Amino acid sequence: MLKIKEYVKAESLAQAYELNQKQANRIIGGMLWMKMGNVKIHTAIDLSGLGLDTVEEREDEFVIGCMVTLRQLEVDDRLATLGSGILRESVKNIVGVQFRNLATVGGSLAGRFGFSDVLTALLALDTEVELYRGGRIPLAKFAAEGAGSDILVRVFVKKDDRRCVYLSHRNTKTDFPVLTIAVSSGKNGIKVAAGARPQRAILVTEDESLKEICAPDIYNGRAGKEAIEIYAAQLASKIPTGSNMRASAAYRSHLAGVLIRRGLTALNESGKEERGMKDAD
């Protein structure tokens, strides 16, 4: 049962940061996961009055406030142009619309939950987060290390040529995912993120030899089936997995190879289509 002694609607980030230095105090987002635990909070710190619930489009990036809801990610037409609509795809199976109207981007990332679809998807893009004191850092670094008592304020996603595919496997619709995979392909190479392992999402590193051979071909739609299978198997082998009530480690490892192969195949087909349209012009 969640117990809160005091509630403060922060008037500034400075005030919120100062309050958050006490271990018994907590920043609250949508309160959807926090309320499920047996937690005693001295002061709940609410950021909803600080104007951090908007999506801003700049020339080279999108700026997403920490209090933006998952539903906003889903319905914002501007974000639909980012990474082949990966953000919309990643959130659509999260419980239901009512839930997504409450759950926040900041809460999803700051919690670094193993089941976070949002964290997996954003890792496959060129993403940074802004901490109140720590400034801008890569999302992968934040996911691995956390923020301590700092506050996640905004998320920055670069606009680039990246095409993306988001895949997840769930035992039942709207359940927590058994495994999530986000694959993106751009001129600077391929990114693969894996989440619900059941640990938090990670970026998967690739061997330079395969990267140089396969990544450009997938982006341009010239990779063969065998090359994709080898590449997918190599990437899947680098994903540490564990067991829980939803699946065994062995099953997750097998599933990783299947989903990565499907993602790479889809990106290869996308590259082929784009190449065909350019040739037709």
pLDDT digits (tens, 9 = 90+) for 130-185: 999 999 999 999 999 877 889 999 999 999 888 999 999 999 988 899 999 999 98
Among the residues of the chain, which ranges form H helices? 13-20, 70-75, 86-91, 97-100, 105-110, 117-123, 139-145, 208-220, 225-236, 249-280
Mean pLDDT, rounded, for 275-279: 65
**pLDDT averaged over every residue in the chain:** 90
Q: Is 3.30.460.80 the CATH classification of the domain at 55-158? A: no
Q: Is the pTM of this model over 0.75?
A: yes
Mean pLDDT, rounded, for 40-65: 95
Residue 239 phi, psi dihedral angles, 5° rounding: -95, 110
Tokens of 7: 């509630």
Question: What CATH topology corresponds to 164-280?
Answer: Enolase-like; domain 1 (3.30.390)
pLDDT band at 186 (very low <50, low <70, confident <90, very high): confident
Annotated domain spans of the chain: 3-46, 55-158, 164-280
Residue 240 phi, psi dihedral angles, 5° rounding: -70, 135
Q: What percent of the chain has pLDDT over 90?
A: 68
Residue 42 phi, psi dihedral angles, 5° rounding: -75, -55
Query: Which bin fits 148, alpha (ψ -120 to 50), beta or left (φ > 0)?
Result: left
Range picked from 133-142, 208-217, 224-233 for highest mean pLDDT: 133-142
